[in-house]
Structure 1
């Protein structure tokens, strides 16, 4: 089974920003569900230096036809200069859940 659903990953500077972004995506019907993992530790290179940050991770469930708007919304509302936006195709899963996503996102 091939689906037309996508899972988008992003991080936010804190849980409040993550919730605000999640609620915007849901209320504007850009995502059916957003999981907020309130605390993740991130280690990365930034401007030539090793950086450590405590962030919040979002797992955004949406449809492929909404991807451009989801990406633009993240870029517009995000506090980071270069926000993480990674998109994963959802190949298969629970058909009942996908039907629910279709209902919510129409």
Structure 2
């Protein structure tokens, strides 16, 4: 299977922001499903300082043809100046799940 399906990772400052973003992604048919994991501890460098922060992680399931619009929407709605947006190829999995994604994202 070609990497037709994608998993997009991002973080939000809190659960409210994560829920709002997830609902917009679903409503605009840019994502079939978004898993929201609260309480993720992040440590990173920002403006020459080490930052330790609790964030909410999003695992976004989508298709390759949705990525450009999704990235644009995340950047527009996100509270961070530089939001994390990582796109991973999905190379195998449950074909029934992928068929469901196809139906949902049409």
Task: Please tell me the TM-score bracket, short chain as reference.
Answer: over 0.9
Query: 2:21–2:77: 8 Å Cα contact kept in structure 1?
Result: yes
Q: How far does residue 2 in structure 1 lie from its aligned partner after superposition?
A: 2.6
Q: Which residue of 1 aligns with 2:82?
A: 82
Q: Secondary structure at the match of 2:11?
A: strand
Q: Secondary structure at the match of 2:20?
A: helix
Q: How far does residue 38 in structure 1 lie from its aligned partner after superposition?
A: 1.3
Q: Secondary structure at the match of 1:43?
A: strand
Ranges in structure 1 where 5+ consecutive residues have no aligned partner:
none
Ranges in structure 2 where 5+ consecutive residues have no aligned partner:
none
Q: Quick check: 1:34 aligned with 2:20?
A: no
Q: How far does residue 103 in structure 1 lie from its aligned partner after superposition?
A: 0.2
Cα RMSD over matched residues? 0.7
Q: Which residue of 1 aligns with 2:6?
A: 6
Q: Which residue of 2 aligns with 1:47?
A: 47
Q: Which residue of 2 aligns with 1:61?
A: 61
Q: Name the TM-score, length of structure 2 as normaliser.
A: 0.98
| CA distances 1:59-87 after superposition (whole Å, capped 9, x unpaired) | 00000000000000000000000000000
Q: Name the TM-score, length of structure 1 as normaliser.
A: 0.98
CA distance in 1, matches of 2:58, 2:70: 13
Q: How far does residue 97 in structure 1 lie from its aligned partner after superposition?
A: 0.1
